[in-house]
């Protein structure tokens, strides 16, 4: 009988030992699973934060660019379009001459068009893209042109922008057929800046292409965009 009890005790110990091992193994598995879930959660949280920050930053940049463009538009419109009751409509223009999804602002007063502002890109610059923006009067003559974005060489190509001089003023007052839109070095009517012939020429030809596009535009066929 004592031997039978002893065997029973030994069996119980073995069972307890086996249970302890299983419990420890389950504990390790649970901890590993919990750690994995926690790491996955932290990873997802980090990805979410990065995506949110990236989206927010892009929105801020886009808003700032839109604001800067809108402020520029107000300085490029002809005088008769700079009145309190002016209405601005925004359109997207895609044309091989000026690039994809360029912005056209049309200024009207009492439903009568008083001016336009158009952005246009060119690949003729020294460092591309070179993006310009110009205001036009109701007769589609250049009122005032400016550089919207440029990567031209500092001290050379950037001499064409208004921060460095009045080179672009020579474009003002001209319609598509009023002059030969080429620099004098190549037989045209426009001056160029010595040491910056490529960029000078790019701005003149790009403005000619913008005039061509503006004269061919059918506003009713264009998709609209937000003014600001």
Buried b / exposed e over 99-128, threshold 16 CB at 10 Å, is beebbbbbbbbeeebbbbbbbbbbebbbee
Length of the chain: 228
Query: pLDDT value at position 123?
Result: 93
For residues 91 and 24, the model is more confident at 91
Q: Is residue 60's pLDDT more than 80?
A: no
In the numeric block, which tokens belong to residue 159? 């001499």
Q: Is residue 216's pLDDT more than 70?
A: yes
pTM of the model: 0.70
> pLDDT digit string (tens) for 156-178?
556 788 888 899 999 999 999 99
Mean pLDDT of the residues in the chain:
83
**212 exposed, middle or buried (CB, 10 Å; 0-12, 13-18, 19+)?**
middle
Rounded Cα–Cα distance for residues 106 and 135 (Å): 10
Query: pLDDT value at position 13?
Result: 61
């Amino acid at each position: 009988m004592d031997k039978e009890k002893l065997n029973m005790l030994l069996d119980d110990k073995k069972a307890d030992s086996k249970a302890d091992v299983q419990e420890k193994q389950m504990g390790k598995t649970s901890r590993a699973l919990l750690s994995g879930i926690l790491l996955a959660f932290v990873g997802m949280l980090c990805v979410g934060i990065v995506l949110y920050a990236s989206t927010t930053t892009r929105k801020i940049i886009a808003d700032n660019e839109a604001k800067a463009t809108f402020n520029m538009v107000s300085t490029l419109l002809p005088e008769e379009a700079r009145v309190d009751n002016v209405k601005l409509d925004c359109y997207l223009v895609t044309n091989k001459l000026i690039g994809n999804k360029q912005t056209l602002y049309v200024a009207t007063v009492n439903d009568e068009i008083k001016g336009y502002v158009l952005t246009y890109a060119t690949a003729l610059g020294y460092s591309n893209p070179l993006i310009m923006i110009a205001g036009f009067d109701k007769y589609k003559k250049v009122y005032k042109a400016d550089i919207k974005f440029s990567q031209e060489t500092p001290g050379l190509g950037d001499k064409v922008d208004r921060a460095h001089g009045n080179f672009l003023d020579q474009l003002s007052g001209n319609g598509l057929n009023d002059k030969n839109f080429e620099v004098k070095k190549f037989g045209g009517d426009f001056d160029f800046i010595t040491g910056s012939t490529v960029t000078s020429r790019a701005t003149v030809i790009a403005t000619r292409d913008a005039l061509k596009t503006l004269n061919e535009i059918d506003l009713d066929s264009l998709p609209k965009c937000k003014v600001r």
